[in-house]
A and B are shown apart, each in its own frame.
Chain A
Amino acid sequence: MSGLRRALGLVAVEGIVVGLVALAIVLSSDRVEGKAATAVLGLFLGWSWIGVGLYAWWRRPDNRFGVLMTAVGFAFFLTVLVSADAPALFTIGVLFSSLYLAVFVHMLLAYPDGRIESPRLRRVLAGGYALALLGPLPTLTVADSDVLGCECPESFLFITDAPTLFRVLDVITSTLAVVLVGYILYVLVKRWQVASQPQRSTMAPVLWSGICLLFVLAGSLTSMAVDGPEAVSDATSLLGMVIFALTPYGFLFGLLRSRVLRAGAVTELLHRLGDAPDRSGLREMLSEALGDRSLSLVYWLEDKRRWVDAAGRPATLPAEDDPARAFTRVEREGRAVGAIVHDRSLCEEQELVRSVAAAAGLSIENERLQAQLRARVEELRSSRARIVEAGTKERRRLERNLHDGAQQRLVALSLTMRLAQTRVHKDPDAAAELLGGAQEELARALEELRELARGIHPAVLSDRGLQPALEALAGRSPVPVELAGTPPQRLPAAVEAAAYFVVAEALTNVAKYANASQARICVSRSNGHAVVEVADDGVGGADPGRGSGLRGLADRVSALDGTLELRSPEGAGTMLRAEIPV
């Protein structure tokens, strides 16, 4: 930082020296009327620009705006050379007499961050610089002092006296300048129109003085082109000078005002935060402190690793390259607690946003805890609703299965038995055949009932525990299954049931989708949790959202405060893992 300060100090010294040289040139000139006034005004203008420019440069070293302001000041001092009596200095002075205007336009177009991103604007600016440097050439090459109407020294570049050619070239350059200034005005006004509220308050002082100055410039160029009365030209150029002189102070005023307001805003905010704001109150306070009505707050839930809004609903942060929105993280004791989502223009005032974030840290932390609670409640509410819904769906499925399966078989059986009864005397062989068919039908009905009863709740699980129940599941699986272990002691019934259904669902999925050659089940106790793992060596790539099976299982596990995790990288098998507190 001290390096920057030294460099800026050097530039400041150069500015002072250049200003004093300019002063000397004006005072020693034979031609200038009102030397003292001209000298003082010129010095005041140049130094104003250089001084404010250096201040802005020092405050925001990353922003090129200060550099451009300083450059305007130096370029302005070049115009003083026009007053010089020596032909060489006079020629250079005329050649660069409009350069400061080009730099000024550059600064306006690059406001507020000092950069011009649009290629079209860059081309326009290049045109501006070209015009500023080529525009004075006719004066220097084909106009003699009679045409110029002054006692000027002869130009170094003078070729011949051609008054008509000079007039033509002068009108062309003036017209081009008017068109260019008009276009830049259009760009600036357009920019103002699309700016957001906070952007406008940062833009206002510079943009408006720039727009006014360009209007005046366009006016004076037009009057020069049409050769209007001299009084109008003088008046407009005086007005232009006044606005030009005021522009750096407008910028300085804006900068200081925002600093004063910023200090006031943070103090005010700290004061009001003491009154324990409610949910919307905190947002309102921050939005007032930062002057951004669109501001919103989001909170970081560490356990879920996601952002939520105040109501606990999932929220997303604006992208890094979002042109309109940006966010500032709020941290407490090195942990993220939330973020302030704000207008991108506030990035120019990082310090303010950071101080506001720091001031509101504790309140945001409190809000975060509440948001976390709301997210939890919201999650519980929806999982409770899903459990009820799953219960209803399960009953419907059972009724359907009973109706379509065992009940139909028993109906058919009843009819067959009746037929057999009517034939037992008339046709005993046919009756025997019917009874044989009935026997088979009965066996199938029994098997279906057994399957159904097992799906409702496996009796072996409650009677004999996890080991035999899981062995039975493994035995019925079409894919070979290794049961690596179960806890030696019985677990609570609800935990055993959840573990059983996790394994059952996992094995069903292995058989249906995994294309695996084997699977492995392991149930263990660790850190007060029952850990259930089912892994296979299949194709992986399982979608957690597939079907309702996993969803229902996750609800069942989370109803016991447990977690369910599916790991299924493409081509590397699938692992379903549940952890349930015991």
Chain B
Amino acid sequence: MCCRILIVDDHPSFRASARVVLESDGFDVVGEAADGASALEECCRLRPEVVLLDVQLPDTDGFNVCAAITAHAQHPIVIMTSSRDGSDFGPLVTTSGACGFVPKAELSGERVQELLRS
């Protein structure tokens, strides 16, 4: 159940809440990043197994970051998240190489596990 995860989101309040939620569900939150560029750096440095990636970032959009992360051979699994509804993004989630989407308000360790198993 212990899974190394990196949280990428530009809102500190969400990063803090997500950390508490995921840790209380047994995840190991290894780091946080606030934008696309530092997300890629932290991915290389921390080598997480899962990246929880917000769609809307200040420097680029989450789908571009996802494509960059999954372009590497030994890449982590990416789960996209947003406060918008998943249906707003059409086919972008699957075409960007992400494993799945979870709305921010419904984030829990259980939902992440479900996506990882699928």
A residues adjacent to B (C-beta < 8 A): 403-404, 407-412, 414-416, 418-419, 422
Bound together, the chains give a CA A434 to CA B25 distance in angstroms of 16
Bound together, the chains give a CA A521 to CA B24 distance in angstroms of 56
Q: In the assembled complex, which residues on chain B have CB atoms less than 8 Å from the CB atom of A410?
A: 105
B21 within 8 Å of A by Cβ? Answer: yes
Would you call the interface of chain B mostly helix, strand, loop, or mixed? helix
- Tell whether, in the assembled complex, residue B17 and residue A412 are in contact, meaning their CB atoms are under 8 Å apart: yes
- Tell whether, in the assembled complex, residue B20 and residue A412 are in contact, meaning their CB atoms are under 8 Å apart: no
Q: In the assembled complex, which residues on chain A have CB atoms less than 8 Å from the CB atom of B16?
A: 412
Additional 16 contacts, C-beta under 8 A, given A411-B14, A411-B17, A415-B107: A403-B83, A403-B84, A404-B11, A408-B13, A409-B13, A410-B105, A411-B83, A412-B16, A414-B106, A415-B17, A415-B18, A415-B20, A415-B105, A419-B20, A419-B24, A422-B24
Bound together, the chains give a CA A559 to CA B104 distance in angstroms of 42
Bound together, the chains give a CA A416 to CA B83 distance in angstroms of 15
- Tell whether, in the assembled complex, residue B108 and residue A412 are in contact, meaning their CB atoms are under 8 Å apart: no
Which of B13, B56, B107 touches A403 (beta carbons < 8 Å)?
B56
Q: A409-B13, A412-B14 are in contact. Are A418 and B83 (CB under 8 A)?
A: no
Q: In the assembled complex, which residues on chain B have CB atoms less than 8 Å from the CB atom of A418?
A: 21, 108
- Report which residue of B13, B56, B107 has the largest number of chain A beta carbons within 10 angstroms of its beta carbon: B13
Question: What is the minimal beta-carbon distance from A124 to any residue of chain B, in angstroms?
Answer: 71
Count B-side interface residues using an 8 Å CB cutoff.
Answer: 17
Contact residues of B between 60 and 113, Cβ < 8 Å to A = 83-84, 104-108
- Tell whether, in the assembled complex, residue B24 and residue A407 are in contact, meaning their CB atoms are under 8 Å apart: no
Q: List 15 A-B contacts (CB under 8 A).
A: A403-B83, A403-B84, A404-B11, A408-B14, A409-B13, A411-B83, A411-B104, A412-B14, A412-B17, A414-B104, A415-B20, A415-B21, A418-B108, A419-B21, A422-B24
Q: A408-B83, A419-B20, A419-B21 are in contact. Are A414 and B13 (CB under 8 A)?
A: no
Bound together, the chains give a CA A414 to CA B107 distance in angstroms of 9
Report, nearest first, the 3 A-B pairs whose CB atoms are least far apart. A414-B105, A415-B17, A411-B104
- Report which residue of A404, A407, A414, A415 has the largest number of chain B beta carbons within 10 angstroms of its beta carbon: A415
Q: In the assembled complex, which residues on chain B have CB atoms less than 8 Å from the CB atom of A407?
A: 83
Bound together, the chains give a CA A409 to CA B105 distance in angstroms of 10
Question: What is the minimal beta-carbon distance from B82 to any residue of chain A, in angstroms?
Answer: 9
Question: What is the minimal beta-carbon distance from B84 to any residue of chain A, in angstroms?
Answer: 8
Question: What is the minimal beta-carbon distance from B93 to any residue of chain A, in angstroms?
Answer: 18
Contact residues of B between 1 and 41, Cβ < 8 Å to A = 11, 13-14, 16-18, 20-21, 24
Q: In the assembled complex, which residues on chain B have CB atoms less than 8 Å from the CB atom of A403?
A: 56, 83-84
Q: In the assembled complex, which residues on chain A have CB atoms less than 8 Å from the CB atom of B107?
A: 415
Which of B11, B20, B21 touches A408 (beta carbons < 8 Å)?
B11
Bound together, the chains give a CA A537 to CA B59 distance in angstroms of 42
Q: In the assembled complex, which residues on chain B have CB atoms less than 8 Å from the CB atom of A411?
A: 14, 17, 83, 104-105
Bound together, the chains give a CA A419 to CA B21 distance in angstroms of 7
Bound together, the chains give a CA A398 to CA B18 distance in angstroms of 26
Total inter-chain residue pairs, C-beta < 8 Å: 38
Q: In the assembled complex, which residues on chain B have CB atoms less than 8 Å from the CB atom of A415?
A: 14, 17-18, 20-21, 104-105, 107
- Closest B-chain residue to A403, C-beta based? B83
Bound together, the chains give a CA A419 to CA B107 distance in angstroms of 11
Bound together, the chains give a CA A418 to CA B109 distance in angstroms of 11
Q: In the assembled complex, which residues on chain B have CB atoms less than 8 Å from the CB atom of A422?
A: 24
Bound together, the chains give a CA A403 to CA B104 distance in angstroms of 12
Question: What is the minimal beta-carbon distance from B101 to any residue of chain A, in angstroms?
Answer: 14
Bound together, the chains give a CA A303 to CA B11 distance in angstroms of 52
Q: In the assembled complex, which residues on chain A have CB atoms less than 8 Å from the CB atom of B83?
A: 403, 407-408, 411
- Report which residue of A404, A409, A412, A416 has the largest number of chain B beta carbons within 10 angstroms of its beta carbon: A412
Bound together, the chains give a CA A403 to CA B84 distance in angstroms of 8
Question: What is the minimal beta-carbon distance from A351 to any residue of chain B, in angstroms?
Answer: 71
Question: What is the minimal beta-carbon distance from A28 to any residue of chain B, in angstroms?
Answer: 107
Question: What is the minimal beta-carbon distance from B75 to any residue of chain A, in angstroms?
Answer: 27
Question: What is the minimal beta-carbon distance from B80 to any residue of chain A, in angstroms?
Answer: 15
- Closest B-chain residue to A430, C-beta based? B24
Bound together, the chains give a CA A343 to CA B55 distance in angstroms of 64
Bound together, the chains give a CA A304 to CA B104 distance in angstroms of 55
Bound together, the chains give a CA A418 to CA B83 distance in angstroms of 16
Question: What is the minimal beta-carbon distance from A445 to any residue of chain B, in angstroms?
Answer: 11
Bound together, the chains give a CA A418 to CA B108 distance in angstroms of 9
Bound together, the chains give a CA A416 to CA B14 distance in angstroms of 10
- Closest B-chain residue to A417, C-beta based? B105
Bound together, the chains give a CA A411 to CA B105 distance in angstroms of 5
Bound together, the chains give a CA A460 to CA B67 distance in angstroms of 49
Question: What is the minimal beta-carbon distance from A432 to any residue of chain B, in angstroms?
Answer: 16
Bound together, the chains give a CA A404 to CA B104 distance in angstroms of 13
Bound together, the chains give a CA A411 to CA B17 distance in angstroms of 9
Bound together, the chains give a CA A414 to CA B105 distance in angstroms of 6
- Tell whether, in the assembled complex, residue A416 and residue B17 are in contact, meaning their CB atoms are under 8 Å apart: yes
- Report which residue of A409, A411, A418 has the largest number of chain B beta carbons within 10 angstroms of its beta carbon: A411
Q: In the assembled complex, which residues on chain A have CB atoms less than 8 Å from the CB atom of B84?
A: 403
Question: What is the minimal beta-carbon distance from A155 to any residue of chain B, in angstroms?
Answer: 100
Bound together, the chains give a CA A310 to CA B108 distance in angstroms of 68
- Closest B-chain residue to A409, C-beta based? B13
Question: What is the minimal beta-carbon distance from A274 to any residue of chain B, in angstroms?
Answer: 68
Question: What is the minimal beta-carbon distance from B15 to any residue of chain A, in angstroms?
Answer: 10
Bound together, the chains give a CA A419 to CA B20 distance in angstroms of 8
Bound together, the chains give a CA A407 to CA B108 distance in angstroms of 18
Bound together, the chains give a CA A407 to CA B105 distance in angstroms of 10
Q: In the assembled complex, which residues on chain A have CB atoms less than 8 Å from the CB atom of B21?
A: 415, 418-419
Bound together, the chains give a CA A416 to CA B24 distance in angstroms of 12
Q: In the assembled complex, which residues on chain B have CB atoms less than 8 Å from the CB atom of A419?
A: 20-21, 24
Bound together, the chains give a CA A42 to CA B108 distance in angstroms of 120
Question: What is the minimal beta-carbon distance from A402 to any residue of chain B, in angstroms?
Answer: 10
Q: In the assembled complex, which residues on chain B have CB atoms less than 8 Å from the CB atom of A409?
A: 13
- Closest B-chain residue to A407, C-beta based? B83
Bound together, the chains give a CA A412 to CA B108 distance in angstroms of 12
Which of B13, B24, B56, B106 touches A412 (beta carbons < 8 Å)?
B13
- Closest A-chain residue to B103, C-beta based? A411
Question: What is the minimal beta-carbon distance from B107 to any residue of chain A, in angstroms?
Answer: 6
- Closest B-chain residue to A404, C-beta based? B11
- Closest A-chain residue to B84, C-beta based? A403
